[in-house]
Chain A
Amino acid sequence: MKKLEFVLIALTVFAFGCHKQNDSRIHVREGVASDTLGSNIVTRPVTHAFSALIGEGIEVAKAVTRRNDAGFLELYVNGYNKSYDTKRFRYRVEWLDADGIVIETKTSVWLPMSAMGKSPFTIKSVAPRPQAVDFRMDTRKWE
């Protein structure tokens, strides 16, 4: 009996070990891609529960700014939703001038954003004034 258990575990580990990593630019979702520990019908409840227990959520990987051809600063925030659930949140970008003072604009309002579970996301924002040289961004829960 113990032998059978050992074989089953070995097979499972072996199967996950053979799992090929896709090209990082292509995201193959759960149900489409081959099973992983997080998507396998047996292990999924445990991994999802563990993810919720430790409170996995959004992580921001990089914020890139560049000045576009029209002379406005563009912001690209790249992040990843570590949770298994879709995370809905709001964000607001404020633009700062060379003195670090906030530029008051009608575009600095709370905007909705949604990132699917275990997926990368990008937020794009454009400064409406050419004087903007920096930014600050805030997030809050989607009520």
Chain B
Amino acid sequence: MKTKVLFLMVFVCLLAAGCSQETKMIDTMHDEGKAVMALDYRDFDMAASKMVQSMLASGSLKKPDGGRYVVATGRIINDTTQRIDTDQLMVKIETEILNSGQAVMTSAVGSGTDKLLHETRELRDSEEFDPNTVAKRQTLIAPELTISGKIFQRNIRYDRNTQQIEYYFQLMLSDVKSGLRFWQDETLIGKRGSNRSVSWQ
């Protein structure tokens, strides 16, 4: 009797192990996975790549008198039904702006603010810190350009069983002093799929 129960338990365990979905790493370099209705990393990669190329080709980051622009990231509005951290798009774009050698990003203001920059300045009156090692007043550099934008989606009923979702990525680069817009672009990613698929997460 005991042997039978033991055999049954081992058999059930083996069966359960065989049915479990194996976890696999995604080959992010050559991902051949199916497209999904929601925005995934491939969509952000594509949008960022197109935006960066468009921005650099426009020449708007090239300072007329040489040197490098100071750029701050403004507000990127997520107007989709998904919970998106807009940094997923902006970090790629900021990285490429930095690496292009034509501009530097600021962490002093904007959505990419580093709170420590301001907290360390509050140490001026502290007796615990060597005043020579604390940042002096008026040492922060103000941004000359800002990047802001929006990601929004439109859901369209394509036919009885199919829905169409359009994702729009819009970015603009503006001059702080004059308020003039130096560059802007839009990338559209469209998906068509079953009505039963959900694009919100």
Give A contacts to B, CB under 8 Å.
68-72, 74, 105-112, 125-126, 128-130, 140, 143
Within 8 Å of chain A (Cβ to Cβ): is B131? no
Interface residues in B25-59 (C-beta closer than 8 Å to A): 30, 32, 34, 42, 45-46, 48-50, 52-54, 56-59
| B62:A128 contact, CB within 8 angstroms | no
Set B32, B34, B100: member contacting A128, Cβ < 8 A? B100
Question: Which chain A residue has the least Cβ–Cβ distance from B28?
Answer: A109
Question: Which chain B residue has the least Cβ–Cβ distance from A127?
Answer: B56
| B34:A130 contact, CB within 8 angstroms | no
Set A107, A112, A130, A140: member contacting B53, Cβ < 8 A? A107
Collect the chain A residues with CB atoms within 8 Å of residue B52's CB.
106-107, 128
CA distance A73 to B178 in the complex (A): 30
CA distance A126 to B46 in the complex (A): 14
Within 8 Å of chain A (Cβ to Cβ): is B155? no
| A96, chain B: closest CB distance, angstroms | 16
| A129:B57 contact, CB within 8 angstroms | no
Collect the chain A residues with CB atoms within 8 Å of residue B48's CB.
106-107
24 A-B residue pairings within 8 Å (CB atoms): A70-B58, A70-B59, A70-B102, A71-B62, A72-B56, A72-B100, A106-B52, A106-B95, A106-B96, A107-B48, A107-B52, A108-B49, A109-B45, A109-B49, A111-B46, A111-B49, A112-B46, A126-B54, A128-B52, A128-B53, A129-B99, A129-B100, A130-B101, A143-B32
Set B42, B56, B96: member contacting A70, Cβ < 8 A? B56
Within 8 Å of chain A (Cβ to Cβ): is B61? yes
CA distance A105 to B99 in the complex (A): 9
| B61:A70 contact, CB within 8 angstroms | yes
CA distance A109 to B42 in the complex (A): 9
**Count: A-B pairs, CB below 8 Å:** 60
Q: How many residues of B contact A (CB 8 A)?
A: 25
CA distance A47 to B46 in the complex (A): 37
Collect the chain B residues with CB atoms within 8 Å of residue A129's CB.
99-101
Collect the chain A residues with CB atoms within 8 Å of residue B192's CB.
none
Collect the chain A residues with CB atoms within 8 Å of residue B46's CB.
109, 111-112
- Check A106/B50 contact, CB under 8 A, given A70-B56, A128-B99, A128-B100: no
Question: Which chain B residue has the least Cβ–Cβ distance from A125?
Answer: B53
Collect the chain A residues with CB atoms within 8 Å of residue B42's CB.
109-110
| B148, chain A: closest CB distance, angstroms | 20
Residue of A106, A112, A126 most packed against chain B (CB within 10 A): A106
Question: Which chain B residue has the least Cβ–Cβ distance from A109?
Answer: B45
Within 8 Å of chain A (Cβ to Cβ): is B92? yes
Beyond A70-B59, A112-B46: 20 further Cβ-contacts under 8 Å?
Answer: A70-B56, A70-B58, A70-B102, A71-B62, A72-B100, A106-B96, A107-B49, A107-B96, A109-B42, A109-B45, A110-B30, A110-B42, A111-B46, A111-B49, A126-B56, A128-B99, A128-B100, A129-B99, A130-B100, A140-B30
| B57:A106 contact, CB within 8 angstroms | no
CA distance A37 to B96 in the complex (A): 50
Collect the chain B residues with CB atoms within 8 Å of residue A143's CB.
32, 34
